[in-house]
Amino acid sequence: MDYNDRILDFLSGDISEVDQKKLAEDLNNNDELQEDFKLQKEILHTIKMGDDDTLDFRSQLKDISGEFLNEKNSRLRIRPAYWLAAASVITLLSVSTFLGLFRSDKYVGDQMFLEYYEPYGINIQVRGDHAEEDITKAISLYQAGNTEKALKEFERLKIENSEMSGFFLALCEIELGNIEEAQKELEKIGKNAIFYSDHINWYLSLCYLKQEEISKAKALFEEIALSNNEYADKAARILKKL
């Protein structure tokens, strides 16, 4: 079944109440439909957020699913007319709250966080005079996805190196979904940070986004965008979308 037809009918408002309920039921039970809906939701978000996103469209699709990057994939059946329909949907109607499709403040924060967050890089160099064997072990646990155990190790190691261990402790909290705890830790260690200040500010700004503290996020992104560090370009792109 060409699910794109059904989704397009829904987005354009050309769908009955009965069919709308049926579509909602199918979304809960059909993985293929969920994927198609998510793809078209991202297209709509791209259009709504502005031209900069359109240029970065392929990158966004990669985050959805690698299979969507293959232009010859027969499952990718979006008609050119869909772009016009999706653009017009922005000005529509009663379906605006369905599955959080449109841009509320929360949708912006969550969407931006998901789009730009990724775990800290794998090529990490240990700095300082602390016990390198212990910190390397803790970092390896974090990189391997053994987050809870890594968190305990970094809590223990904070006595020896508050900046580095605190930074990774916050990263573990983010991975565990404890954004508020991560934010507090990053704010604390960021006051006197030296080696990891750029990274701390970046992840702290993402925490602000996730927590819907948009004014704080914007202020920090502005600082990052002017810094010429590795996060400057990303921060500038985010500022254009906020």
Q: Which domains does the chain have, with CATH numbers?
A: 3-100 (no CATH), 132-241 (1.25.40.10)
Gap between the Cα atoms of 140 and 146, Å rounded:
9
Looking at the predicted structure, is the pLDDT value of residue 240 above 80?
yes
| pTM given for the model | 0.58
pLDDT > 70 fraction of the chain, expressed in percent and rounded? 57
Q: Give the ranges where 56-158 is alpha helix by DSSP (H).
A: 57-64, 80-89, 105-116, 132-143, 147-157
DSSP-assigned letter for residue 225? H
Average pLDDT over residues 3-13: 63
Mean pLDDT of 141-170: 93
Backbone region of residue 99 per phi and psi (left: phi > 0; alpha: psi in -120 to 50; beta: other values): left
Provide the pLDDT confidence category of residue 104 given band limits of 50, 70 and 90.
low
Q: pLDDT digit string (tens) for 29-39? A: 777 777 777 67
Confidence of residue 156 (pLDDT cuts 50, 70, 90): very high
Which amino acid would we find at residue 102? Answer: F
Distance separating alpha carbons of residues 172 and 53, to the nearest angstrom: 29
How many C-beta atoms surround the C-beta of residue 7 within 10 A? 21
Q: Say how far apart CA 73 and CA 51 lie, in whole Å.
A: 26
Going by pLDDT thresholds of 50, 70 and 90, the confidence category of residue 76 is very low
Classify burial at 226, counting beta carbons within 10 Å of its beta carbon; exposed 0-12, middle 13-18, buried 19 or more: exposed
pLDDT > 90? residue 174: yes
Comparing 136 with 200, the larger pLDDT belongs to 200
* Three-class SS state of 206: helix
Question: Confidence band (pLDDT; 50, 70, 90) for 205?
Answer: very high
Q: Which residue has 């408002």 as its token pair?
A: 13
Residue with the larger pLDDT of the pair 98 and 149: 149
Question: What are the residue ranges of helices labelled H in the chain?
Answer: 3-11, 17-29, 31-49, 51-55, 57-64, 80-89, 105-116, 132-143, 147-157, 162-175, 179-190, 197-210, 214-225, 232-241
Higher pLDDT, 25 or 241: 241
Res. 24: pLDDT tops 50: yes
CA 88 to chain centre: 26
Q: Report residue 232's pLDDT band, with 50, 70 and 90 as the boundaries.
A: very high
Q: What is the mean pLDDT of residues 77-105?
A: 42
pLDDT at position 233 = 96
pLDDT at 40: 67
